[in-house]
Chains A and B, each alone.
Chain A
Amino acid sequence: MSAVLQQPAEVLAPTRGRVANFFIRLFREKPLGAAGLVIFVLFLLCGAFADLLAPYGMNQISMSNRLKPPSARFWLGTDHLGRDMLSRMLYGAQLSVIIAFAAATLATVISVVVGIVTGYLGGRVDMTTQRLVDAWMSFPELIILIVVVSVLGPGMVQVIFVLGLTFGIGGSRIVRGAVVSVRENMYVHAAQSMGAGTPRILLQHILPNILPPVIVLFTTRVGAVILVESGLSFLGFGVPPPAPTWGGMLSGSGRTYMYLAPWLALMPGLAITIVVYAINILGDALRDLLDPRMRGSR
């Protein structure tokens, strides 16, 4: 009850109206961010409907059409096995969508759980956890990933798990910071004095109030995962071939034939850049709209 009383009237409006309002604001006040959203949604659709959109199979080999430059028949050309690049790019988008969403979701859940518990409880648990987070953040993500993949072997599950864990632990700092600033609010003290249990306070009072930074965190994580995953695939530690990951396409045929067929190396990198750029400008816009305190930070 007390939480409801503390919140501004706007928050009490029906959820659907709030979401619609938010998008109207996004398109009106942040045209660049809205453009980012459009590109991001297109990327999601490409991934979701890759099977329908792709003119050829992702591993459909055609030896008579090896290393063909972009043409009306093969919009983005073909690789050294005559596989259509457009189809592989679309299936690559599918892999990126799956990995990015799975890893970013896992990361956000870890960040929220660790951040809420340590931020709210404080004390020794917090101290110890923060030192562990310090230690973890001293390792570059890419190096943790390389080492873990060297131990567990390459594969999509490993990549998702390690990316989720790495980004999750790093992001717990941001969630913890938000929790610390929220936990001293009157409605939290009111709930405590009314005898609400810790789980109830965390779920009913803290969590809804830290959602804005969490949404921003999730968005930026999707972009970060795509970027790091592509780097990992480039080094040969991602999802193993013949899976058409964007990073893997760049390192495999892309680099071997880069002088003969530069489009093989050009396209995947361009795709990564455009998608990550779109997500970043969307993330910036969301940050400005949802969480003015975090403006300009990263």
Chain B
Amino acid sequence: MRAYMIRRLLALLPTLFFASVIVFATVRMIPGDIIDLMISQNDISAGKTDRAQLERVLGLDQPIYIQYFRWVGGIVLRGDFGSSLWQEQSVIAEIGARLPTTFQLGFMALFVALVVAVPIGVWSAIRQDTWGDYLGRSFSILMLAVPGFWMGTMVMVFPSIWWGISPAVKFVPFFEDPVANMLQLAIPAVILGTSLSAITMRMTRTMMLEVLRQDYIRTAWAKGMNERTMVVRHALRNALIPVVTLIGLQAPILIGGTVIMEQIFVIPGMGLMLLEAVSRRDYPVITGVFLIVGVAVVLINLIVDLSYGLLDPKVRYR
């Protein structure tokens, strides 16, 4: 297990390296005239409006590879992502303040997704080709097609028109009032979760069908075991392992979804931070959020891979 973990961690290095190159290259595509634009629009706080100074702040006065190593070096050695062009605050501090909210929303959505997906997926599999199965599968394909931002907007509009209910606009931090906070995040989490549940449900169904054809399930039937015990104790436990991998694969979709939900429901997380930074052309913030999101996804996948060993005793790491 330890050898596997070390190997898995080493394999992470090239991925993280490429991720940093992607982030760096994307944001460095800033055409020169954007700087002129920033100056002319007076986008930047006073005192930095000089062109040479601005280039220095953005680090554009150095050769490209030095810029890269400086930037990566700062992050790896000092955890320094630079500071916002607007507020005199370090990017990492701002991300640290925003990240927990996005994580909370993400976890709540994931919870909803599993609570919806697993029972429907199991039901679809054990009642294959019945009306319940068709209904469950149609629901899951439909959920894949509904845009989250539209559902979010509808949830805000119709209750308000019909019953005069509208969601609170002011965000309540978790530590101020946990109950109000959870209630506030519940609606976006449910919307995000149901759309995520579609893929998980299909996967659960497929894996359950596969497991239900195994010999040991037939043996369990032959012993006269009741269906509930068999499904829960024998089939589900084996079927759920690949579903866990799916959670890792869905992490990017989940984070992408939180951006939209944060925008609609005005939740001050990383997504809203990115959108605000983009509207102000605050490149150090954009770069920081972009990189953190990528690294978070890589780490989530690492955790998922490692948890495999705990869930499935068959997997003895080579």
- A residues with a Cβ closer than 8 A to B are 128, 131-132, 134-144, 146-152, 223, 227, 230-231, 234-235, 237, 247, 250-251, 254-255, 258-259, 262, 265-266, 268-269, 272-274, 276-277, 280-281, 284, 295-298
* Residues B179-236 near A (CB distance < 8 A): 199, 202-203, 205-206, 209
- CB–CB B157/A277 < 8 A: no
A-B contact pairs, 18 of them (CB 8 A): A134-B298, A135-B22, A138-B15, A138-B295, A138-B297, A139-B252, A143-B255, A143-B289, A146-B278, A148-B29, A150-B278, A151-B29, A235-B275, A258-B153, A259-B157, A262-B161, A273-B150, A274-B145
Most chain B CB within a 10 A radius of its CB, from A254, A284, A296: A296
- On whether the beta carbons of B154 and A276 are closer than 8 Å, the reply is no
Q: Please, which residues of chain A bring their CB within 8 A of the CB of B150?
A: 250, 265, 268-269, 272-273
4 more A-B residue pairs beyond the given contacts A141-B252, A146-B274, A147-B27, with a C-beta to C-beta distance below 8 A: A140-B252, A141-B256, A269-B146, A272-B147
Given contacts A141-B256, A250-B153, whether A147 and B290 have CB atoms under 8 Å apart is: yes
In the complex, the answer to whether A151 meets B27 with C-beta atoms within 8 Å is yes
CB distance from A295 to the nearest CB of B (A): 8
Closest beta carbon of chain A to B272's beta carbon, Å: 11
| A127 CB to nearest B CB, Å | 9
Cα(A231)–Cα(B153), bound, Å = 12
A134–B154 touching, CB < 8 Å: no
B286 at the interface (CB under 8 A from A): yes
Q: Rank and list the top 6 A-B pairs by shortest CB-CB distance, nearest first.
A: A269-B150, A140-B256, A135-B18, A277-B145, A296-B206, A142-B256
Q: What residues on B are CB-neighbors of A134 within 8 Å?
A: 15, 18, 298
Rounded to whole angstroms, the CA-CA distance of A67 and B254 in the bound complex is 35
Instruction: Give chain B nearest CB distance to A277 CB in angstroms.
Output: 4
Contact of A234 with B145 at beta-carbon distance under 8 Å, contacts A138-B298, A150-B281 already known: no
Asked if A281 and B141 make an inter-chain contact with CB atoms under 8 angstroms apart, the answer reads yes
Q: Verify A143–B153 contact, CB threshold 8 A.
A: no
Q: Are the C-beta atoms of B141 and A277 separated by less than 8 Å?
A: yes
Chain B residues with CB below 8 A from A250, complex form: 149-150, 153
- Distance in Å from the Cβ of A294 to the closest Cβ of chain B? 11
The complex places the Cα of A146 from the Cα of B281 at a distance, in Å, of 12
B10 to chain A, nearest CB (A): 12
A216 to B137, alpha carbons, bound, how many Å?
Answer: 19
CA distance A152 to B34 in the complex (A): 9
Q: How far is the CB of B108 from chain A (nearest CB, A)?
A: 18
CA distance A135 to B253 in the complex (A): 15
CA distance A277 to B143 in the complex (A): 9
Is A135 touching B15 in the complex (CB atoms < 8 A)?
yes
B25 → chain A closest CB, angstroms: 10
- Residue count of chain B within 8 Å CB distance of chain A: 57
Is there contact, CB below 8 Å, between B274 and A143? yes
Closest B residue by C-beta to A254: B153
Known interface pairs A131-B14, A259-B160, A269-B153; A139-B275 also in contact (CB < 8 Å): no
Cβ A235 vs Cβ B260 within 8 A: yes
Contact with A along B15-30 (1 / 0, CB 8 A): 1111101100011011
Q: Is B148 an interface residue (CB 8 A)?
A: yes
Chain B residues closer than 8 Å to A139, beta-carbon distance: 19, 22, 252, 290, 293-294, 297
Considering the complex, give the chain B residue whose CB is closest to the CB of A148. Answer: B26
Contact partner of A265 among B26, B157, B206, B209, CB < 8 A?
A: B157
Q: Which of B147, B157, B274 has the largest count of A CB atoms less than 10 A from its CB?
A: B147
Chain B nearest CB: distance from A151 CB in Å? 5
Q: Flag if B149 contacts A135 (CB, 8 Å).
A: no
Interface residues of B in 274-315 (CB under 8 A from A): 274-275, 278, 281, 286, 289-290, 293-295, 297-298, 301
CA gap between A235 and B26 in the complex, in Å? 20
B35 at the interface (CB under 8 A from A): no
* B8-61 interface (Cβ within 8 A of A): 14-19, 21-22, 26-27, 29-31, 34
Assess the B263–A235 pair: CB atoms within 8 A: yes
* B259 pairs with A142, CB closer than 8 A: yes
A272 to B295 alpha-carbon distance, docked (Å) = 32
Contact call B145/A280, Cβ cutoff below 8 A: yes
B252 touches A138 (CB 8 A): yes
**Complex CA–CA separation, A131 to B298 (angstroms):** 12
B158 contacts A by Cβ under 8 Å: yes
- Chain A nearest CB, measured from B313 CB (Å): 26
Q: A262 to B159, alpha carbons, bound, how many Å?
A: 12
Does A231 lie within 8 Å of B26, measured CB to CB?
Answer: no
Contact present for A258 and B156 (CB under 8 Å): yes
Q: Do A269 and B18 touch (CB < 8 A)? A: no
Nearest-Cβ distance from residue A240 to partner chain B, whole angstroms: 14
Contact of A273 with B286 in the complex, beta carbons under 8 Å:
no
Determine if A147 and B26 form an interchain contact, defined as CB atoms under 8 angstroms apart.
Answer: yes
Q: Nearest chain-B residue to A135 (Cβ)?
A: B18
